[in-house]
């Protein structure tokens, strides 16, 4: 009986003790289960982080078990943390609905949500990749939701294909021929938009990066001052480069971009780029992964989703997808290191956030 009592006590305390140990040590274990404050593996896939008033908020896709989890049954989950290690479950920031006429009906696809704060409107603005229910990945739309408080609830606003009727800043006259390019084919209806991220520059201008043109070319599109719509100027980032999963960051005045190739849920080699101006031109820096050939070929089993500034450096965030049991997807967080002027990522079984607190 006493033994039973002790075992039950241990079981009850285990997640908390684990979390406290992690907090004390400040370590991250890429690919491991990552318990939240209730001891439940964090459910925020394809996510991104907003830092607001000294607190980090991690938004991501809430997945359910099995391959059904690849569609949205719950919505966008949000967690909060002051130390990036211990995460409090703040619930569902944006919920799917049961109205079959709604874009975000249960069973639609809601992917790669990102949230930014607009200081002028004092609104939290969420963008995500939306696929309408029952149409596979054909819709390729961007969707927007908005909230007055960071953890929500977020109110769904609308979805669209961005930049209808607008040419990219850097398209040649010859490529404005619909017989030649997808960007011209989609000129009237708006550009396809799948994998995406958001980025706020030092001057407060925000940008939406999305995989467009049948996933062959990423676009970067400036947002209006309220961050709710495309502002009308956008550029093709890496024409016909076959990049997706964009994650962008700024370091010493330059812009860096990490992407993946196009193999769905299966991992492939990551790619990296640098630019002096946010609209490019972008220069390829090669595969940022340093390690074994296997690690370079599959990016440690993961795919980029976000890069978070931290301390004097940056954290690379990726997803190790588990498409057959989506809820079991894991998080690949690694420090960005520098090999001369190139951002590089090495594997660590565990690593300490302190490594990013010293000058890079």
Contact footprint for ligand GAL (CB under 6 A): 46, 111-112, 195, 244-245, 264-265, 303
Which CB, 46 or 168, lies closer to ligand GAL? 46
Cβ at position 302, least distance to ligand GAL in Å: 11
Residue nearest to ligand GAL (CB): 264
What are the beta bridge partners of residue 319? 303, 331
- What tokens appear for 356 in the block? 């990013």
Count of alpha carbons within 13 angstroms of residue 85, beta-carbon side: 19
Q: Say how far apart CA 124 and CA 150 lie, in whole Å.
A: 6
Give the total residue count for the chain: 360
Q: Say how far apart CA 230 and CA 222 lie, in whole Å.
A: 6
Q: What is the dihedral of CA 317, 138, 135, 109, to 10 degrees?
A: 20
Q: Say how far apart CA 353 and CA 200 lie, in whole Å.
A: 23
Cβ at position 68, least distance to ligand GAL in Å: 14
Which CB, 178 or 264, lies closer to ligand GAL? 264
Cβ at position 265, least distance to ligand GAL in Å: 5
Q: Which residue has the tokens 């294909």?
A: 161
Show the CA angle centred on residue 37, arms to residues 31 and 41, nearest 5°. 30
Cβ at position 232, least distance to ligand GAL in Å: 27
Cβ at position 305, least distance to ligand GAL in Å: 8
At 267, which helix (H) or strand (E)? none
Cβ at position 97, least distance to ligand GAL in Å: 21
Sign of CA dihedral 276, 281, 283, 287: positive
Cβ at position 137, least distance to ligand GAL in Å: 7
Which CB, 134 or 264, lies closer to ligand GAL? 264
Which CB, 288 or 313, lies closer to ligand GAL? 288
Nearest CA to 284 out of 272, 299, 296, 276 is that of 272
Q: Say how far apart CA 111 and CA 29 lie, in whole Å.
A: 24
Nearest CA to 76 out of 21, 19, 152 is that of 152
Cβ at position 357, least distance to ligand GAL in Å: 31
Quick check: helix, strand or coil at residue 12? helix
Which CB, 19 or 110, lies closer to ligand GAL? 110
Sign of CA dihedral 319, 353, 336, 339: negative
Which CB, 36 or 244, lies closer to ligand GAL? 244
Show the CA angle centred on residue 13, arms to residues 7 and 16, nearest 5°. 155
Cβ at position 117, least distance to ligand GAL in Å: 24
- What tokens appear for 338 in the block? 């520098």
Cβ at position 140, least distance to ligand GAL in Å: 10
Which CB, 150 or 209, lies closer to ligand GAL? 209
CB of 319 closer than 8 Å to CB of 46 = yes
Which CB, 129 or 236, lies closer to ligand GAL? 129
Which CB, 46 or 190, lies closer to ligand GAL? 46
Nearest CA to 248 out of 320, 324, 196 is that of 196
Which CB, 35 or 162, lies closer to ligand GAL? 162
């Amino acid at each position: 009986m006493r033994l039973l009592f002790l075992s039950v006590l241990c079981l009850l305390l285990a997640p908390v003790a684990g979390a406290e140990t992690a907090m004390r040590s400040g370590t991250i274990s890429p690919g491991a289960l990552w318990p939240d404050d209730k001891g439940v593996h964090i459910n925020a896939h394809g996510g991104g982080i907003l830092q607001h008033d000294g607190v980090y908020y991690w938004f991501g896709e809430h997945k359910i078990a099995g391959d059904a989890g690849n569609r949205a049954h719950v919505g966008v989950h949000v967690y909060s943390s002051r130390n990036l290690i211990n995460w409090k479950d703040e619930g569902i920031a944006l919920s799917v609905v049961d109205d079959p006429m709604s874009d975000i009906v249960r069973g639609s696809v809601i992917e790669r949500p990102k949230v930014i704060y607009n200081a002028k409107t004092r609104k939290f603005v969420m963008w995500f990749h939306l696929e309408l229910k029952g149409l596979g990945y054909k819709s390729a739309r961007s969707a927007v939701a908005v909230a007055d408080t960071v953890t929500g609830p977020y109110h769904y606003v609308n979805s669209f294909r961005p930049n209808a009727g607008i040419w990219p800043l850097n398209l040649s006259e010859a490529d404005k021929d619909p017989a030649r390019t997808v960007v011209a084919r989609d000129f009237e209806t708006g550009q396809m938009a799948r994998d995406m991220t958001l980025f706020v520059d030092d001057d407060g201008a925000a940008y939406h990066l999305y995989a467009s043109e049948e996933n062959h070319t990423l676009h970067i599109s400036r947002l209006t001052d309220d961050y709710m719509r495309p502002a009308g100027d956008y550029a093709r980032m890496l024409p016909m480069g076959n990049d997706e999963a964009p994650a962008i960051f700024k370091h010493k005045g330059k812009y860096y971009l990490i992407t993946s190739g196009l193999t769905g849920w299966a991992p492939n080699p990551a790619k990296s780029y640098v630019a002096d101006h946010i609209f490019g031109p972008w220069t390829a820096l090669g595969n940022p992964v340093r390690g074994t050939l296997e690690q370079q070929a599959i990016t440690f089993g993961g795919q980029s989703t976000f890069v978070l500034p931290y301390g004097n450096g940056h954290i690379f965030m990726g997803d190790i997808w588990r498409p057959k049991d989506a809820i079991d997807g894991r998080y690949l967080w690694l420090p960005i290191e520098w090999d001369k002027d190139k951002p590089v990522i090495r594997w660590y079984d565990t690593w300490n956030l302190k490594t990013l607190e010293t000058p890079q």
